[in-house]
Amino acid sequence: MPCHTIVHRQDWFLEESYRARTDREEPGFLDRSFELHFNERPFLNHFSYLFITRTTKERMRQQSNFSVLCRGHILPREVRDKDGILRFLEAVEQFGRIICDSGLVRLERLTTEEITGKGKEAGLVEKYFSLSQEDTTTLEDIRLGGAEMRIGDKRLSVHTLSDADDLPSAVRTDGRYEKYSTDRSDCRLSFAAPVGLMLPYNHICNQYVFIDDPAETLRHFEKAARNMRSLSRYSRANEINRQWKEEYLNEAHSFGLVPVRCHCNVMVWSEDRERLRNIRNDTGSALAQMGCKPRHNTVDAPTLYWAGIPGGEGDFPAEESFHTFIEQAACLFIGETNHASSLSPFGIKMADRLSGRPIHLDISDEPMKWGITTNRNKFILGPSGSGKSFFTNHLVRNYYEQGAHILLVDTGNSYKGLCRLIHERTRGEDGIYITYEEDRPITFNPFYSEDRQFDVEKRESIKTLILTLWKREDEVPKRSEEVALSGAVNAYIRRITDNPELRPDFNGFYEFVRDDYRRMMEKKRVREKDFDIDGFLNVLEPFYKGGDYDFLLNSDKEIDLTHKRFIVFELDNISSNKVLLPVVTLIIMETFISKMRRLKGVRKMILLEEAWKALMSPNMSAYVLYLFKTVRKYFGEAVVGKYSINSPFHSKNVM
């Protein structure tokens, strides 16, 4: 920035109440209850403005008795310096680009109408004069007095940091906030956070940085230090001041620091005199938390208020500022704001941690859009009782309400209530809960397809399922056996596709292999050592009618899980069953892969919560690895929930 520039940041913190959203058509019971629960909840809204003002050498040094309030003219002659104004505008444009290119802060340049107002819409200047952010404001009488300052019915009080002696011995960019910190983790807030959102009243924080001519400032300190040296024999105070000034000069020259002047103030107001007294005490306490000396300024309150007008920084009284460097001055900037709802139409409903105000948060698409992540996958970690299942229920319900397909793998019945709610609301069309019970065992039909379409993924999943039932985990099939099995599956699929009257199931496949496919093998003269069809049928016999597991693959319920939007697999009862678990695992794999491949442009989510014991088989772990790598390509996301960070990542099958 050029010399004689004032950088003024103004933060407004105003008390508001949450208004329930009623713009949604036919909101559900939970959505409606959510909005009504938070309706009229008070919170502190935050508006932040950055004003960069070009002044002159004389205006930078003027004191409070030379304010515009005490003069009959306003414009200095330097405003007619076109070249100086052009250089200033170029510097401001460059500054704005640097800030925006960081990706951390977004600046929006105010238009003339937004500053001065247009028609019945109040501008920023008018809002400042009424201490309100409403678009339509009422003109207020302003009373500037030594004992009290009033804006309409609002009584104003100002605390200032205008002397280096008021500051602590050291300032920092951030500090530990004990309330949200633990012995293992820190919650870091900015140095000035106590006078930001942590101060729960209507208030304005003004932070000024005055950029003088650095060379002239250093020459002034050099001269003052020499004078103090000459006078040090008459007073020890002069010697101490000389040492301070020389230390300031040494810092500037040694580290190339730019000298500036700084000032901060906090303006609070209330219509009730007694309440203002309490607010004033809390404001002083907040400054004390920063390690600063609270100073209630009554003499210069009118001139400080006047200098806070957008563009009026040139009237700031110079005696209210202190010398420092840019780095230290930046530490006095407030670094927090209240959470703003995501602009994305997709997301979940959360609550601001400080005020409890509802916000709309997109944790899937916006992070990818901003380049923070390259996929939508998530890992949810929380110990027992931390509310992990409560959050995941909330997450998947919000995603489901917005059209996503949800597949959950759980142990512990955490989603039974939500699944039942969806099942009843959709009258059985959705909310499929699959679990094992003695009187209601898990049943599937791997050969059922609603449209009788069997793509490559579907055929491969059937082949993998039968191969899992046939061979042990440590038994590798021969190439000839894989070819024979693939031929059997394809031949049976052609049979049921050409004959729609046939009911496809595992019993039909078993009989087809036993009779028709056997003759096909004999006709091809396939040797027994290449494919032992009798041994194959013998191993699969428990899953054929009359066997111990004849219920498993012969379901008479014609359900195509590909088009069901909310499915829960509860694996707690079968996590130790070496027969049922692999089958259910493969059904899960086939179901979600089918959704990935076939549902184009539809958001898909698979959530694995507390199911790692059941999913540690080599087949499932390989699937999980494949899933996390490829799901992003199909508009999907894989989510893992766990109470301990050790369990999933210490498994050799996953890593």
Q: What is the pLDDT of residues 101-150, one digit of tens each?
A: 877 778 888 888 888 888 788 888 888 888 888 877 777 888 877 677 88
b/e per residue 607-625 (b: at least 16 CB within 10 A): bbbbbbebbbbebbbebbe
Q: What percent of the chain has pLDDT over 70?
A: 91
| pLDDT for res 468 | 82
- In this structure, what token pair is assigned to residue 334? 């407030």
How far apart CA 86 and CA 80 sit, in angstroms, is: 11
Q: Which residues pair with 409 in a beta bridge?
A: 569, 608
- Does 389 have pLDDT greater than 80? yes
Name the one residue in this structure whose structure tokens are 């238009």: 111
**For residues 588 and 577, what is the distance between their CA atoms, to the nearest angstrom?**
16
**% of the chain exceeding 90 in pLDDT:** 26
pLDDT of residue 333: 93
Separation between Cα atoms, residue 415 and residue 567, nearest integer Å = 10
Contact by Cβ (8 Å): 583, 469: yes
**Mean pLDDT score of the chain:** 84
Measured N-to-C along each axis, helices 388-401 and 416-425 cross at an angle, to the nearest 10 degrees, of 20
pLDDT tens, position by position, 42-83: 899 999 999 998 887 777 666 665 565 555 555 555 566 677
Taking residues 371-391, report their average pLDDT.
87
Q: How confident is residue 450, by pLDDT bands cut at 50, 70 and 90?
A: confident
| Mean pLDDT calculated for residue range 287-310 | 90
Q: Is the pLDDT of residue 283 over 90?
A: yes
- Residue 510 has φ and ψ, to the nearest 5°, of -60, -45
Name the token pair of 217: 């400032």
Of residues 652 and 608, the one with the higher pLDDT is 608
Which residues is 264 bridged to in the sheet?
161, 207
Taking residue 518's Cβ as centre, other Cβ atoms within 10 Å add up to: 16
Which homologous superfamily does the CATH classification assign to the domain defined by 375-443+557-655?
P-loop containing nucleotide triphosphate hydrolases (3.40.50.300)
Q: Does residue 654 surpass a pLDDT of 50?
A: no
Q: Taking each helix axis from N to C terminus, what angle separates 580-598 and 456-470, rounded to the nearest 10 degrees?
A: 170
CA distance 112 to 123: 9
C-alpha span between 641 and 648 (Å, rounded): 10
* pLDDT surpasses 70 at 622: no
599, exposed or middle or buried, with CB in 10 Å at 0-12, 13-18, 19+? middle
Domain boundaries, the chain: 6-18+30-53+61-76+106-330, 375-443+557-655, 450-555
3-state SS assignment for residue 324? strand
Rounded mean pLDDT of 318-332?
A: 91
260 neighbors 8 (Cβ within 8 angstroms): no
Pairing of strands 203-211, 188-190: unpaired
8 Å CB contact between 605 and 404: yes
Average pLDDT over residues 408-426: 89
**Torsion over CA: 71, 72, 75, 76 (sign):** negative
pLDDT value of position 64: 61
Q: Please give the full DSSP string across 268-303, using - where no structure is assigned.
A: EEESSHHHHHHHHHHHHHHHHHTT----EE-SSHHH
pTM flag (> 0.75): yes
pLDDT grade, residue 97 (50/70/90)? confident
Q: What is the pLDDT of residue 262?
A: 94
Task: Say if residue 153's pLDDT is above 50.
Answer: yes
Q: Which of 214-223, 478-487, 646-655 has the lowest mean pLDDT?
A: 646-655
Is there a contact between 64 and 320 (Cβ–Cβ < 8 Å)? yes
Reported confidence tier of residue 436, pLDDT bands at 50, 70, 90: confident
Q: What is the Cβ-side half-sphere exposure of residue 298, based on CA atoms within 13 angstroms?
A: 6
The pLDDT score that the predictor gives to residue 445 is: 85
Per-residue pLDDT tens over the stretch 565-597:
999 988 888 877 778 887 887 788 878 888 888
Q: What gap in Å lies between CA 382 and CA 145, rounded to an integer?
A: 57
DSSP-derived secondary structure letter, 121: B
- Residues with Cβ within 8 Å of 12's Cβ and at least 6 positions away in sequence, in order, are 45, 46, 47, 48, 49, 133, 204
At 588 the pLDDT is: 83
Q: Which among 255, 289, 235, 312 has a CA at the least distance from the CA of 8?
A: 312
* DSSP per-residue letters across 444-501: --TT--TT----HHHHHHHHHHHHHHHS-TT-PPPHHHHHHHHHHHHHHHHHHHH-TT
Could you tell me if 577 and 584 are in contact, meaning their C-beta atoms sit under 8 angstroms apart?
A: no
CB 517 within 8 A of CB 408: no
Question: What is the predicted pLDDT for the residue at 188?
Answer: 92
Neighbour count for residue 640 (Cβ, 10 Å): 23
Across the chain, which distance is largest between two alpha carbons, in Å? 121
